[in-house]
């Protein structure tokens, strides 16, 4: 009986151990499979990471290559733009008129009192003076130039005394000063010897470069005033007369000569005052010939000056009918231009160069 019980116990123990071993084997196999799956996933993740790194490196290399190419293109573009700018600047010097519209014409005001005085003096001297009949010439070309001297200031004005028989030259240096220089001849200007210069100190300083000398007097815009013109006797240096021009002097006469608000001019008919309202675009100076106003234009950076607009008080010459006239090829800027009626010459202050232009005129 005891032996039978012991045998049953042993069988039961063996059966329990067998079942326990089978469960452990399943668990071990399960963990082994999971570990193998994790290893495969890790390998896949590592491979994906390597591929991603490679793509990043490829993209980075491509970006660096394209950036280098863009740098080269930027340099080439900058060089091309600079070249185009230089070409445009050269073209602008000869065809500035293509980039601007027809400007507004400046107003020209004749001083009636001065005209009456001129008529009275002409009658005393038995000189016939009839506006509109005795003067009928028109400018056809600006032929040549002569540079007399280089002044110390880029701003200024100079002219020959229009009085009959006079060879005196007057020089106004700067756009605000009170001392002008009187030379006995053009040769004296070139040599500028101390013994040949007469310094004339005016009672009040001038403003701008629009002064002139006429019949023994100097006419100029008084500095720090809007539109006051003084008439000063050259010999005794006193103010002989003064006038205000209502509505004038609010804007520069010429857009490229911003310090000149009133410009005085002399021609065959007498003394004129030029002022602008509104401002004339790209105008640099002007001059009068036989009652016709010739406006000179340029570019803001300096170029070849040209006459593109004119205004004739007689309506004998029309701006649209007159061809554009170029100055001799010199790429600078005029800060003043003064016409000499007898010699038919134009005295220009060309960036400090005292220049004389020979004019071609024809009768209408």
* For the chain, domain boundaries: 1-99, 103-363
Closest Cα to residue 280, out of 267, 261, 266, 265?
261
Give the contacts of 290 (CB within 8 A, at least 6 positions apart).
Answer: 135, 136, 137, 138, 267, 268, 269
Q: What is the rounded distance in angstroms from the CA atom of residue 17 to the CA atom of residue 25?
A: 12
C-alpha distance from residue 39 to each of 32, 48, 52 (Å): 10, 14, 20
Quote the pLDDT of residue 128: 37
> How big is the chain, counted in residues?
364
**Closest alpha carbon to 301 in 284, 277, 287, 324:** 284
115 in Cβ contact with 270 (< 8 Å): yes
Cα–Cα distance between 275 and 104 in angstroms, integer? 12
- Other CB atoms within 10 A of residue 200 CB: 15
pLDDT of residue 174: 93
For residue 247, the model assigns a pLDDT of 86
- Among 340, 233, 272, 287, residue whose Cα is nearest residue 114: 272
Lookup result for tokens 């963990």: 31
Give every strand in the sheet of 107-110, ordered side by side. 107-110, 270-275, 263-267
User: What does the H/E/C string look like for the chain?
Assistant: CHHHHHHHHHHHHHHHHHHHHHHHHHHHHHHHHHHHHHHHHHHHHHHHHHHHHHHHHHHHHHHHHHHHHHHHHHHHHHHHHHHHHHHHHHHHHHHHHHHCCCCCCCEEEECHHHHHHHHHHHHHCCCCCCCCCCCCEEEEEEEEEEEEEECCCCCEEEEECCCCCCCCEEEEECCEEEEEEEECCHHHHHHCCHHHEEEEEEEEEEECCCCEEECCEEEEEECCCCCEEEEEECCCCCEEEEEECCCCCCCCCECCECCCCCEEEEECCEEEEEECCCCECCEEEEEEECCEEEEEECCCCCEEEEEEEEEECCCCCCCCCCCCEEEEEEEECEEEEEEECCCCEEEEEECCEEEEEEEEEEEC
- Report CA 122 to chain centroid distance, whole Å: 44
- Classify domain 103-363 by CATH architecture: 6 Propeller (2.120)
pLDDT on residue 39: 86
Question: What is the pLDDT tens value at each position of the chain, 364 positions in all?
Answer: 555 455 554 555 566 556 667 877 888 888 888 888 888 888 988 888 888 888 898 888 888 888 888 887 787 787 777 767 666 665 665 455 444 444 444 444 445 555 556 555 655 443 333 344 457 788 889 987 888 888 888 999 999 998 878 889 999 999 999 999 999 888 888 887 766 789 999 999 999 999 999 988 999 999 999 999 999 999 999 999 999 998 898 899 998 888 999 999 999 999 999 998 665 678 999 999 998 999 999 888 777 888 887 787 766 566 555 668 888 876 678 899 999 999 999 999 988 889 999 998 888 7
Residue 288's pLDDT is: 93
The total of other beta-carbon atoms located within 10 Å of residue 219's CB is 25
Identify the CA nearest to 304 among candidates 187, 192, 165, 145: 145
Give residue 107's pLDDT. 45
Instruction: Return the pLDDT at 5.
Output: 52
């Amino acid at each position: 009986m005891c032996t039978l019980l012991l045998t049953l116990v042993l069988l039961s123990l063996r059966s329990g151990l067998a079942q326990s071993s089978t469960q452990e084997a399943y668990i071990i196999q399960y963990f082994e499979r999971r570990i193998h799956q994790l290893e495969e996933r890790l390998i896949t993740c590592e491979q994906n990471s390597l591929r991603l790194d490679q793509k990043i490196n490829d993209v980075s290399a491509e970006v660096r290559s394209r950036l280098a190419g863009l740098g080269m293109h930027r340099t080439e573009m900058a060089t091309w733009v600079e070249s185009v700018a230089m070409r445009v600047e050269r073209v602008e010097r000869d065809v500035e008129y293509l980039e601007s519209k027809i400007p507004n014409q400046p107003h020209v005001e004749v001083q009636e009192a001065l005209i009456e005085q001129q008529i009275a003096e002409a009658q005393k001297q038995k000189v016939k003076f009839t506006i509109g009949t005795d003067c009928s010439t028109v400018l056809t070309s600006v032929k040549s130039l002569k540079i007399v001297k280089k002044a110390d200031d880029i701003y200024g004005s100079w002219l020959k005394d229009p009085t009959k028989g006079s060879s005196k030259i007057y020089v106004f240096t700067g756009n605000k000063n009170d001392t002008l220089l009187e030379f006995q001849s053009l040769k004296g200007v070139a040599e500028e010897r101390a013994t040949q210069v007469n310094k004339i100190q005016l009672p009040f300083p001038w403003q701008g470069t629009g002064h002139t000398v006429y019949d023994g007097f100097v006419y100029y815009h008084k500095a720090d005033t809007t539109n006051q013109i003084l008439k000063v006797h050259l010999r005794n240096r006193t103010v002989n007369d003064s006038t205000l021009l209502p509505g004038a002097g609010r804007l520069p006469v010429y857009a490229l000569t911003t310090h000149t608000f009133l410009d005085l001019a002399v021609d065959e008919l007498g003394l004129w005052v030029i002022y602008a309202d509104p401002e004339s675009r790209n105008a640099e100076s002007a001059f009068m010939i036989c009652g016709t106003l010739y406006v000179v234009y340029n570019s803001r950076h300096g170029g070849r000056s040209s006459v593109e607009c004119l205004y004739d008080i007689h309506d004998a010459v029309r701006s649209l009918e007159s061809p554009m006239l170029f100055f001799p090829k010199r790429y600078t800027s005029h800060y003043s231009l003064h016409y000499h009626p007898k010699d038919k010459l134009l005295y220009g202050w060309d960036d400090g160069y005292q220049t004389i232009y020979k004019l071609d005129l024809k009768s209408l």
